[in-house]
Amino acid sequence: MSRVHKVAAGDTLGAIAARHLGSSAKWGKIASANPQLASRGRAADGSPIIHPGDALIIPANEAARPAGAQAKTVALSGGERDVAIKIDGKKFTGFTSYELTLAYDSLDTFSASAPYSSAMAELRSAITPFAFKPCDIYYEDSLLFKGTLLTPDPELTDRAGEITLQGYPLCGILNDCAVPPTSYPLQVMGVNMRGIAEAACEPYNIPVVFDGDAGPDFTEVSIEPAEKIAGFLAKLAKQRGLLITNTEKGELLFFAPRRGKAAASFAEGSPPMLSLKARFAAQGFYSHVTGFSKTGPEDPPFSYTLENGYLISKGIMRHHSIIVDDAEGLSGLQKAVEAYAGRMHADCVSYELECDAHHNRDGERFKKGMTVCVLAPTAMVARETNFIAREIKLTRTAEGKRAAMDLVLPGSYTGKLPEAFPWE
């Protein structure tokens, strides 16, 4: 967790870095964590000048963290202990309700509620508002992800008090924050997705992981001052056919989608499926998607058009155009247009499935990105169809355990348009 150092007479940024981070060469990490230094003059080593009395945020030094000792378990109620949140070396469990959102193409989140009173000293000391403490989220004793605890929500009624804890993975800060002034302007040329991501995430000490190839270099890329880092990186990742999510360690993960065998099957009228709702968005569904390259005044533009055979076969023309900022030739532009068309299908053809289980028939917990086979003619799934679980919400309330799945067609992430739709 980050700390604060109050500058004393004689301090230099290099000396402070050596004391807290183990090397004077790491002064840049401290400068990145303190945007107020961006307008300062420079010392002989290039570091910003600091003054006695300055309060400097010292980023966490991951290498210096000792191995965690056995956590003390604190039960907040006599209820089920399937979910636990570890804060300050204590594992809080016994939550009366929770919602765990596991996202395939975005970042996970959690929310858990429990009885609360000011007499619960251990919990009270662990949940100071706006402390943004690191925490670990466990489900059935297995780590879901390392995260950050956001501001708790206490509520007092005429009957009792309740507290709701919520948060996201360590890399969730990238959804909230922009590049600090000490790293701006972030403008790179001839760098691939990995290099851009590492440069954008470095000020917040967020590790970047790639499962597969980072793709070709971008010709030129820049981020706007007010642009959120996660949105900026997700936009570039789409151009390279990559998705973004978080790892168990809270790192930012870039990966290429893959198709697998069905991990769960559901059929109309059979448990554990409770409901299935189709979500069709007609206004965003197009017969033709044309991508145009973004070029300079002296460069001739080029284009690529993808055809949606489903609408064309019905004689329907609905055209849409996109601009691709950094297409590597016609093949790069084609890949970007196919990725856009895949996302179009995800946005326009999806299903929301609810069931009263958290595990498949083999006892395996439902996981984001898993393949799900569904047959439900009443909901316009007329034949057994495989979907990808774009998002899974595992919940427990007074009514029991539920899982809500946001299902999309497999081609939504590979850019391969479906040969037939579920209702055909």
Return the CATH class of domain 3-64.
Answer: alpha beta
Domain 177-255 -> CATH class: alpha beta
Neighbour-count burial for 259-286, b at 16+ CB within 10 Å, e otherwise: eeeebbbbeeeeebbeebebeeeeeebb
Structure tokens that stand for 248 in this block: 């168990």
Nearest to 74 by CA among 127, 24, 142: 127
The mean pLDDT value for 303-311 works out to: 94
- Identical fold for domains 3-64 and 177-255, yes or no, is no
CA angle 319, 347, 304 (to 5 degrees): 35
**Which of 161-165, 173-177, 268-272, 320-324 has the least mean pLDDT?**
320-324
Right CATH for 72-173 from 3.50.50.60, 3.40.50.720, 3.40.50.2300, 2.30.300.10: 2.30.300.10
Segment 33-50 shows an average pLDDT of: 87
* pLDDT, averaged across the chain: 91
pLDDT of residue 67 exceeding 60 = no
CA 71 remoteness from chain centre: 27
Token pair 């590790």: residue: 207
Distance from C-alpha of 182 to C-alpha of 39, rounded to nearest angstrom: 9
Q: Are 351 and 394 in contact (CB under 8 A)?
A: no
| Contacts made by residues 201-204, CB under 8 angstroms, sequence distance 24+ | 201/171, 201/174, 201/229, 201/252, 202/29, 202/32, 203/32, 203/33, 203/179, 204/173, 204/174, 204/177, 204/229
Query: What's residue 65's pLDDT?
Result: 47
321 vs 305: CA distance, rounded Å: 9
Closest CA to 279 of 395, 407, 412, 392: 407
Instruction: Kindly indicate the confidence band of residue 40, based on its pLDDT and cuts at 50, 70 and 90.
Output: confident
What does the block give as tokens for 184? Answer: 């701006």
pLDDT at site 414: 82
Can you tell me the distance from the alpha carbon of 387 to that of 378, in angstroms, rounded to the nearest whole number?
17
Q: What is the pTM of this model?
A: 0.87
Query: What mean pLDDT comes out for the span 63-86?
Result: 81
**pLDDT above 60 for 41:** yes
| Residues 12-26, mean pLDDT to the nearest whole number | 89
Q: Give the tens place of pLDDT for each residue, 239-275.
A: 888 999 999 999 999 999 988 899 999 999 999 999 9
In the chain, what are the domain boundaries?
3-64, 72-173, 177-255, 262-414
Share of the chain above pLDDT 70, in %: 96
Average pLDDT of span 107-114: 98
170-174, 224-228, 315-319: least confident range? 224-228
Contact 218/235 with Cβ under 8 angstroms?
no
Q: Please tell me the predicted confidence (pLDDT) of residue 38.
A: 82
Give the pairing type, strands 288-293 and 319-324.
parallel
Q: Cβ distance 369 to 253 under 8 Å?
A: no
Q: What is the mean pLDDT of residues 141-159?
A: 94
Whole-number pLDDT of residue 218: 87
Predicted pLDDT at 62: 53
Confidence of residue 132 (pLDDT cuts 50, 70, 90): very high
Cα(110)–Cα(136) distance, integer angstroms: 11
Beta strand ranges found along 14-140 (DSSP E)? 55-58, 72-75, 83-87, 90-93, 97-103, 109-115, 134-139
Q: What is the pLDDT of residues 280-289, one digit of tens each?
A: 999 999 999 9
User: How many C-beta neighbours within 10 Å does residue 372 have?
Assistant: 21
Q: What's residue 63's pLDDT?
A: 46
Average the pLDDT over 397-403 and give the result: 96
Distance CA 293, CA 333 (A): 7
